[in-house]
């Protein structure tokens, strides 16, 4: 890790140690909290976006939600602020690789790993949903898995509290097409926890067969397929998929929300049943 002297030190309470990476919204740094030495991650909003109140609000929302929710499967937030012209959120530092990176490297996962990670992520969603929060962007790049196989769900910046139905991206669809529920594509302000379950189902489907339910050469193509086609059962793509997991995935990926699991806790129960070699409900 480069010495901290190589990095600018714009934050009074934190020492920047290194850089984790950059994305569309900004850069994430590894840092140390000076008061107690805790290593944290600091997400700094890109300067060009700091003048846009919508992006600042998204970062504030992520911080507030992640500070309020407390679950080992959700990245913990520690604070939000503005210093030296930089808007930032301070979060738990998470070791590991994103599920997207693991899928790129491995292609697919053994079923027992899919079940284990699925249970962890469903339990994390249950905590969020119990707290009145819909994630709205569950996907492999928003999941980090450490060397011990523990998963954490990241990026609550697009999350919607049930009391705040207004968040969209430029008035349009929020989410990622390959993992998005049909209702989220059609009416992004009307989603509920069953939309998150669809997105988790699409993620688990990708893990077990090696590709998401729908692919295309553009976002518009994916959305057209999402809204006009049925999902091919996982067992037809990958014959080794057990009947139990196949049934769980079929239910998660039903077109109508009312045909899916009603809650993440119901999903956890069925995944545990399949894990024990029993049939889902």
Is the separation of the CB atoms in 34 and 15 below 8 Å? Answer: yes
User: How far, in Å, CA of 102 to CA of 255, rounded?
Assistant: 28
φ, ψ dihedrals at 79, nearest 5°: 170, 170
Rg (CA), the chain: 19
62, 71, 44, 218: which is closest to 137 by C-alpha?
62
Residues 6+ apart with CB under 8 A from 186: 227
Q: Compute the residue count for the chain.
A: 281
The span from the CA of 182 to the CA of 132, in Å, is: 21
Please give the Cα distance from 211 to 222 (Å, whole number). Answer: 13
Is 137 an annotated catalytic residue?
yes
β-partners of residue 41 are 30, 91
What count of other Cβ atoms lies within 10 Å of the Cβ of residue 210?
14
Catalytic entry in 116, 137, 155, 170:
137
Residues annotated as catalytic (active site), given as ranges: 137
């Amino acid at each position: 890790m480069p010495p901290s002297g190589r990095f600018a030190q714009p934050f009074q309470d934190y020492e920047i140690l290194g850089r984790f990476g950059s994305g569309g919204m900004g850069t994430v740094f590894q840092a140390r909290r000076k008061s107690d030495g805790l290593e944290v991650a600091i997400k700094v909003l890109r300067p060009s976006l700091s003048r846009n109140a919508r992006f600042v609000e998204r970062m504030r929302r992520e911080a507030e939600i992640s500070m309020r929710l407390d679950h080992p499967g959700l990245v913990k937030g520690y604070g939000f602020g503005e210093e030296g012209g930089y808007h930032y959120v301070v979060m738990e530092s998470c070791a590991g690789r994103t599920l997207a990176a693991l899928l790129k490297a491995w292609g697919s996962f053994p079923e027992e790993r899919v079940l284990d990670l699925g249970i962890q992520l469903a339990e994390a969603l249950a905590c969020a949903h119990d707290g009145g929060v819909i994630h709205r962007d569950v996907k492999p790049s928003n999941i980090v898995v450490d060397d011990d196989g523990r998963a954490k769900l990241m990026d609550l910046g697009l999350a919607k509290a049930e009391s705040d139905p207004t968040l969209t991206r430029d008035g349009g669809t929020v989410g990622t097409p390959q993992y998005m529920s049909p209702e989220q594509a059609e009416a992004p302000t009307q989603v509920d926890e069953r939309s998150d379950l669809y997105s988790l189902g699409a993620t688990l489907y990708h893990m077990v067969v090696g590709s998401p339910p729908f692919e295309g050469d553009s976002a518009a193509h994916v959305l057209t397929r999402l809204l006009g086609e049925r999902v091919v059962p996982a067992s037809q793509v990958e014959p080794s998929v057990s009947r139990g997991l196949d049934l769980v995935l079929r239910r998660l990926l039903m077109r109508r929300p009312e045909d899916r699991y009603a809650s993440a806790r119901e999903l956890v129960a069925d995944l545990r049943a399949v894990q024990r070699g029993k049939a889902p409900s």
